[in-house]
Amino acid sequence: MKFFNLHTHKFTDQANVVELVNQYPQEFDAALAHYSIGIHPWYIVEDRVEADLAIIESKLQEPNCLAIGECGLDKRIQIPFELQQIVFEKQLILAEKYNKPVVIHCVAAFQEVIETKKKMNISVPMIIHGFSKNKQIAKQLLDNGFYLSFGKYLLLSRSLGTELESVFKSIPNNRFFLETDTVDETISEVYELAANYKNSTVAELQAEINKNVADVFKIE
């Protein structure tokens, strides 16, 4: 049984791991087996947005492009929030057009992301990557149809003793994914910790997440 890594910036090419490698329109490797592509709010270049969207749209039609993203909203950066919102919505339109799930970067803007989903009546799955917040925010997101992905901050909870362990335990098994993002630990290490927190085995967790992968990404 394979591990699924919902979000990583490093392709490791392991036989027992399916990796959704994050790609950017201007830095693209067509040889990757599975990837997502999107305009990250940190890297919005206003006069290049339409060109980037054209690249994204072309890649969304390729079979190894499994999702759009990471894209989203971030209130702690200098990029104007109004511009972030416009670029986010344009990518959501493409996600709907090509029926692709969305991997979301969200910092201090969860209410805006939820309202955007409602306003645009988005029907494709939306996954908040790198979730690190409390049970209240988790519940709001779950109640509005989002999936949550855990990785770096879950690993940090081992030493920091954060509330995230309790949050993670409360997430239904059919609504979460695991990831490595930019950490040095492997996806199997994330699964081992998650299985421990869920009082489960790694194999049981793999089976659960593989079901989620089939539901969301339409791959076996």
Give per-residue pLDDT as tens, 158-182: 877 678 999 999 999 999 999 999 8
Query: Tokens standing for 56?
Result: 């994204």
What average pLDDT does the chain have?
Answer: 96
Distance in angstroms (rounded) separating the CA atoms of residues 21 and 202: 22
Q: Which amino acid is at 154?
A: L
Annotated binding residues for a divalent metal cation, written as ranges, equal 70, 105, 129, 181
Show the domains of the chain with their CATH numbers: 3-217 (3.20.20.140)
Residues contacting 206, CB < 8 A, separation 6+: 1, 2, 3, 4, 191
Low-confidence residues in the chain, pLDDT < 70: 161, 220
Give per-residue pLDDT as tens, 138-164: 999 999 999 999 999 999 988 776 789
Annotated binding residues, written as ranges, equal 70, 105, 129, 181
Q: What is the DSSP letter of 46?
A: G
DSSP per-residue letters across 74-98: ETTSSS-HHHHHHHHHHHHHHHHHH
Instruction: Give the H/E segment covering residue 23.
Output: strand 17-23
Determine how many CB atoms are found less than 10 A away from the CB of residue 161.
9
Output the pLDDT for position 134.
Answer: 95
Distance in angstroms (rounded) separating the CA atoms of residues 115 and 122: 10
Q: How many helices (DSSP H) and strands (DSSP E) are in the chain?
A: 8, 8
Query: 8 pairs with which residues across the strands?
Result: 21, 181
Output the pLDDT for position 162.
Answer: 75
